[in-house]
């Protein structure tokens, strides 16, 4: 028997950062994101030798543990180990015997929610294999708890829910309460957005935890400029929702630009000279707006390029050493399946 799963990565279109505590606890957050055709994949092969094997075939990494009720959460496989430990502790109460491997279509630190999406993918494979009675909200919440509570990794709440639910979603955050509102965006508006939104990898990564900690500290210190910027980003999520539902796709560039200008005020490390140069070059070439995906500091950026300006924008960005990526928006979230061999 082979158990497989895949979960989609996401673009954070609006409201990014307002899902992070303590802002979301104090003021409530709002995010609009959409999943794309880039995925985190997991395979579980049940074994009978009492060993737990973690593999990353694309990186040539491999770790093995014998009869483990709990494994130390260090090294490359910290996410895999965090999920394994929670599954044993909460559900099986005894060691498992398996070989588990995974890979992701984007590098870590790319700003597409890779870590959280991988956790959802790994968790989904266990749910499929062990037939655990968990729905979408349960899986997303459990993935969040594993990352933020068990492993103490800094971050927000949106990525786990995006990967689990899939599609275009307007999400609301109030303390521990998360509401996912799937958006019924007409396909022609999605097609137009897909046609005009250029995804660009800066060929750099970021440590999102450092940026998020700075953002959190600004809220704790009641830094007015940071908090006001987060309020504006929450407004941006509402603006983006209305534009998508009403078909005002041409307004999306300006909405993205509005959000980007405020996102940079959340924490000093969100942007840098190179990112600003890339952004300015895209605007000069014809983009009407854009932003960095994720916490900031590096990874993927995307730009709204009206009419046929995407070609001029792509040419302008080619001088920075990164690369544009092809993608499609997706409507499905986490998928799992079993193959009997």
Q: Is 159 a catalytic residue?
A: yes
pLDDT for the residue 259: 92
Contact 159, 172 (CB under 8 A): no
| CA geometry: angle 5, 6, 11, nearest 5 deg | 160
Question: Which of the following is catalytic: 159, 176, 203, 251?
Answer: 159
What pTM value is reported for the model? 0.94
pLDDT for the residue 208: 66
Q: What is the torsional sign of CA 184, 187, 189, 194?
A: positive
pLDDT for the residue 34: 97
Question: Residues with Cβ < 8 Å from 196, sequence gap 6 or more?
Answer: 249, 252, 304, 305, 306, 310
pLDDT for the residue 283: 97
In the chain, where the domains are located? 2-184, 187-325
pLDDT tens, position by position, for the chain (341 residues)? 999 999 999 999 999 889 988 999 999 999 999 999 999 999 999 999 999 999 999 899 999 999 889 999 988 899 999 999 999 999 999 999 999 999 999 988 888 999 999 999 999 999 999 999 999 999 999 999 999 999 999 888 999 999 999 999 999 999 889 999 999 999 999 999 999 999 999 987 666 677 778 888 888 888 888 899 999 999 999 999 999 999 999 999 999 999 999 888 877 778 888 999 999 999 999 999 999 987 667 789 999 999 999 999 999 999 998 899 999 999 999 999 999 97
pLDDT for the residue 217: 86
pLDDT for the residue 206: 60
CATH numeric code, 187-325:
3.30.70.890
pLDDT for the residue 221: 86
Architecture of domain 2-184: 2-Layer Sandwich (3.30)
65-97 burial: b if 16+ Cβ within 10 Å, else e: beebeebebeeebebbbbbbbbbbeeeeeebbe
pLDDT for the residue 297: 72
Token pair 């899902």 is at which residue? 19
């Amino acid at each position: 028997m082979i158990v497989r799963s895949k979960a989609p990565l996401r673009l954070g279109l609006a409201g990014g950062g307002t899902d992070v505590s303590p802002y979301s606890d104090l003021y409530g957050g709002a995010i609009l994101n959409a999943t794309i055709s880039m995925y985190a994949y997991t395979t579980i092969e049940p074994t009978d030798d009492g060993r737990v094997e973690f593999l990353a075939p694309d990186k040539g990494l491999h770790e093995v543990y014998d009869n483990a009720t709990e494994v130390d959460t260090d090294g490359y496989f910290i996410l895999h180990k965090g999920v394994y430990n929670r599954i044993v502790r909460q559900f099986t109460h005894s060691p498992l015997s398996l070989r588990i491997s995974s890979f992701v279509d984007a590098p870590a630190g790319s700003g597409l929610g890779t870590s959280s999406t991988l956790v959802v993918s790994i968790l989904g494979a266990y749910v499929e294999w062990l037939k655990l009675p968990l729905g979408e909200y349960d899986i997303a919440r459990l993935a969040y708890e594993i990352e933020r509570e068990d492993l103490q990794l800094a971050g927000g709440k949106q990525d786990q829910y995006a990967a689990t639910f899939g599609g275009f979603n307007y999400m609301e955050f109030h303390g521990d309460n998360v509401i996912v509102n799937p958006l019924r965006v007409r396909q022609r508006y999605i097609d137009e957005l897909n046609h005009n939104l250029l995804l660009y990898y800066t060929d750099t990564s970021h440590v999102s935890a450092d940026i998020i900690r700075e953002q959190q500290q600004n809220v704790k210190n009641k830094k007015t400029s940071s908090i006001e910027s987060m309020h504006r980003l929450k407004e941006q999520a509402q603006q983006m929702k209305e534009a998508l539902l009403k078909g005002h796709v041409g307004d999306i560039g300006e909405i993205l630009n509005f959000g980007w200008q405020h996102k940079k005020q959340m924490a000093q490390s969100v942007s840098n000279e190179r990112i600003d140069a890339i952004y300015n070059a895209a605007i000069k070439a014809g983009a009407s707006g854009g932003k960095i995906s994720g916490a900031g500091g590096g990874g993927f950026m995307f730009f709204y390029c009206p009419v046929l300006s995407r070609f001029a924008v792509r040419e302008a960005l080619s001088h920075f050493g990164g690369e544009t990526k092809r993608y499609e928006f997706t409507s499905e979230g986490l998928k799992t399946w079993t193959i009997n061999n």
